[in-house]
Structure 1
Amino acid sequence: MTLAPQDGTVAPPPPDPAASPTPLYPHNRVRRHLSELFRLALPVTIARLGMLIMAVVDTIIVGNYDSAGLAYLNVAHAPFTSLMVTGIGLLTGVMIMTSHANGREDLQAAGTVWRNAMPYTILIGAVFTFLTWQAEWLFVVTGQPEEIATHAGQLAIILSIGMPAALIYTTCAFFLEGLQRPLPGMVIMILANLINLVLDYGLVYGAFGFPELGAEGAAWTSSVIRWIMALSLLGYVFLMKSHNLYGLRNGFSGWWRGSQEVRHLGYAAGASQGMETSAFAAMQLFAGRLGVIAAASYGIAMTMLALMFMVALGLASATSVRVGIAYGRRDRPDMALAGWIGLLTTMAVMFLLSIPLYLVPNSVAHLFTQDVGVIATTVSVLVLMPIIFPTDGGQNAAISALRGAGDKWAPTVLHLVSYIFVMIPTGYYLTFVAGMGVRGLFWGIVIASLVAVSGLAIRFAIVSRRPIPAYRAAR
């Protein structure tokens, strides 16, 4: 038995032979990390992809129903997605702190992370629901045409109903992923997508006895599905056989003080993701100023980027957990190796995924719409994806590795520089001043992503050389 030091720190657990690196054979360490990365990343990626596949289904069904409705839905998603992703960032500390506790083999601490995070999740959900409900004023002040502002505002109200559910699902999924148990989230996401496909088509076109609601039907489907997912995964966490080992039913008292470390990690991650998604939302609003065709084309291209980004996000989440577990063991060399393998693997996978979009952009555009003008504009930007995919995915893997290593605000500053001070002004200049139209927006994304991945990789090189501090138990 290991006795805890009297100064408030907790001694690290004895090395786990199954998890410890093999010092004599470095290639074994690389193979082990790749194996664990893909084992964890596969179900996480499927779950992340499922979130976007629902949006892709919305885009395809609504786009083939009505191009104007697609433009309204894309603009409505801009503030909703920005706030939802900010909320997911605020909750990132759940996965990180759970993985640290998992690395120390402290199950009660892992369960306490989840119990303290749930009330915080509900608080964030309530605030962000109110803000999304009021989105129409944002469309007006950013110069959206009256038709787009009015219809998009109505759709944003419907989408806001699903905001708390999206964040509840996220907290439960992050907790399970931190324990390296991502399968329940994946299964629930697959089932949700099957339901979404039927309900979406029914409510948009008025099939299967449902009313014909057009774009509103897609928005209602999204909110209903998010609540089904949230309640299902919440029920799984409460009923899991090992709930006693984690103390999951021990109540939520003292949650604000107990969630301090999770919140502090989340503030930095939330600010970072909030700035990035807000910057992309600004680009969507720029596209809206160019008219319905530009807004629809930008939305299609961004849907493909976001869909493939979910693969990167799955790999990045797995990277964060792998780095976090090594961090919890205070194994600095293994932590560094986990981070670099995650970054390089993510960039390689993303490049491979971009090749079909580069080779057959016209076929991809035809999946979403039959509008000739929208197709032509979409094709002109899809050919840039071999540059955007690896750099955008790589920066997410790098920032996840930094979060897993306990780095808080430096990655946020790098995101601020890349996406607020580089992407927005560059995209605006190329689009409106240089006259490049929608293509200028995506060149702005290219430049910002290159800046981001370079800066974050350098930062991880610095952080991964530092000693890992001893864990200090909460008092």
Structure 2
Amino acid sequence: MFETKTKTEKFKMLLRIVFPILVTQVAMYLVTFFDIYMTARYNTEDLAGVSIGSSFWMPVYIGLAGILMSITPIVAQLMGAARREEVKDAVQQGIYLAIILAVLIFTFFFFGADSLLGLMDLEAAVESVAGEYIFAMSLGLVPLFIYNVLRYYIDALGATRVSMFISLLSAPINVFFNYLLIFGNFGFPELGGAGAGYASAITYWVVLFIAGWIVHTRKPFKSFGIFSGWAKLSLARVKEISRIGVPIGISIFAETSIFSAVTLMMSTYGTITIAAHQIAINFTSLLYMLPLSISMGATILVGFEVGAKRFHDARQYSWISVLSAVAFSFVSAFTLYFLRHDIAALYSSDPAVINLAVQFLVFAALFQLSDAIQAPVQGALRGYKDVNITFIMALISYWVIGLPSGYLLATFTGFEAFGYWIGLIAGLTAGAVTLSFRLNKIQKKIAAY
């Protein structure tokens, strides 16, 4: 990365940083995407089971993995301030924290998943698939978390194309093992939805080894010596990472878990509704990869400029990121609305599932603008290391406004299952508005110094 002078140069730098991140995000997301897609082609019961399983898995994993995202602003600001000698220790302590978090989540799922699933009114076959899927995915927690630390370190150096290259390998690896383990091809056991979980776990281990080899042997990463001269676990350093990372993780958890909560609450509507809802969420999440990537790019660029004390440049990067995401939101909304029949048919041949998914996709189109605003605004705030107020705003927007309003509409009006989607729109809109005000306030406060 280097200092930019004009808005045009900044936009080009943003594209340079964001495009590889986008490819990386899509490639990593495709692991889950193909789990859902290929299981949908297996049968509806396994699709529902994987949907329920991923609804437990994703918010817990993403929320705690979000803690590790603090590596990006920490390393970016260290590099901007020309303190590269401190980078190795930050990354090593991040790896220690990754292992601790992975073990905690594995323990939670190993002992608690069956009890949680037992509280739901699920068909026996669906509950069985969900439990097996969660266990299988948990076997990939350690490599997935360590890879996230390495990836955030790589991205913070501006080498986002390297992360892109690594992640591009994940989708074909995952599809290959899905093909073997879901459908039982080439003599492998036919595991259905559980096979998708095992395929993902194998993929995460392979991706970690590739990333580790690159960080250890290739420039510019080799010069930092990340895997040499390991320091002892430092509670002070872990505390610093956690101080920034925990609010980030809670913010991400608050957003992702509301989608999972809606999926779980929809279990009362039956297998068809769960499957149709999951189709809409799955494709919408794929489109969300662009505003999410812009958000991560904003964290890197804003953090770099803040570290160098170029606050005016940091402000410009913030709003260029938001405007770029908003422009894309109109494209994604039109795609969801006008191609909704084709999108639903990609996932299922069941007419009942397709018909319901088409209706959910209309609501998905409506919250694209709010999603496109709140994501890069949060990313910019992370670049400023302003994370505490942000997570409180996220909690209120999604859990005080979004989910309760969705429940009321679903329970006491004729909207039924669609009421939850209206609640999602309300929560995301509240988040976009309040976070934008927060970013503007932080920038004015810094400019006053």
Q: Same fold (TM over 0.5)?
A: yes
> Is 2:36 aligned against 1:59?
yes
Between Structure 1 and Structure 2, the one with more helix by share is 2
Instruction: Give the equivalent residue in structure 2 for 1:107.
Output: 84
Whole-Å separation in 1 of the counterparts to 2:166 and 2:267: 34
Correspondence for 1:331? 310
Change (3 A) 1:122 1:373: same
2:41 partner SS: helix
Match of 1:264 in 2: 243
Amino acid aligned to 1:418: S
SS in 1 for 2:188: coil
Task: Work out whether 1:387 is the aligned partner of 2:371.
Answer: no
Q: Contact conserved, 2:4 with 2:10, CA < 8 A, in 1? A: no
**Equivalent residues in 2 for 1:49-88 (5 A)?**
49-88=26-65
Tell me whether 1:209 sits opposite 2:193 in the alignment: no
- For the residues of structure 1 that align with 2:263 and 2:382, how far apart are their CA atoms? 28
Q: From the superposition, tell whether residues 147 and 210 of structure 1 become closer, same or farther in structure 2 (CA, over 3 Å).
A: closer
Separation of aligned partners in 1, 2:243 and 2:24: 26
- Deviation, structure 1 residue 41: 0.6
Q: Could you tell me which residue of structure 1 aligns to residue 16 of structure 2?
A: 39
Equivalent in 242, 248, 251 of residue 230 of structure 2: 251
Instruction: Please show how residues 315-464 of structure 1 align to structure 2 within 5 Å.
Output: 315-464=294-443
AA partner of residue 137 (structure 2) = L
SS at match of 1:333: helix
5+ long unaligned stretches in structure 2: none
Alignment match, 1:473:
none
Query: Is the alpha carbon distance of 1:299 and 1:32 closer, same or farther for their aligned partners in structure 2, counting shifts above 3 Å?
Result: same
Deviation at 1:145, TM superposition (A): 4.4
What is the match of residue 153 of structure 2?
175
Percent of counterpart pairs with the same letter? 22
Match of 1:287 in 2: 266
Give the match for residue 72 of structure 2. Answer: 95
Comparing 204-213 with 456-465, greater Cα deviation is found at: 204-213
SS at 1:370 equivalent: coil
Give the alignment of 1:132-143 within 5 angstroms: 132-133=109-110, 134-143=112-121
Equivalent position amino acid for 2:153 in 1: F
Q: Which runs of at least 4 in structure 1 moved beyond 4 Å after TM superposition?
A: none
2:3 equivalent in structure 1: 19
Q: Does structure 2 conserve the Cα–Cα contact (< 8 Å) formed by 1:166 and 1:226?
A: yes
| Shift, 1:462, TM fit | 0.3
Report the equivalent of 1:48: 25
Q: Which whole-Å deviations, capped at 9, do the CAs of 1:331-377 have from their partners, x for residues lacking one?
A: 11111111111112112113212312210211100100011111111
Counterpart position of 2:211:
233
Q: Distance in 1 between matches of 2:323 and 2:4?
A: 22
Number of residue pairs aligned between Structure 1 and Structure 2: 447
Report the residue type matching 2:30 in the other structure: I
| Residues 357 and 382 in structure 1, CA contact (< 8 A), matched pair in contact too | yes
Q: Which letter maps to 2:311?
A: R
Alignment check: 8 A CA contact 2:133 2:196 kept: no
Further displaced range: 348-357 or 454-463: 348-357
Question: Which 10-residue stretch deviates more, 123-132 or 69-78?
Answer: 123-132
Aligned to 2:290: 311
CA distance in structure 2 between the aligned counterparts of 1:119 and 1:447, rounded to whole angstroms: 38
Q: Could you say which residue in structure 2 is the equivalent of 1:200?
A: 178
Distance 1:320 1:461 in 2: 16
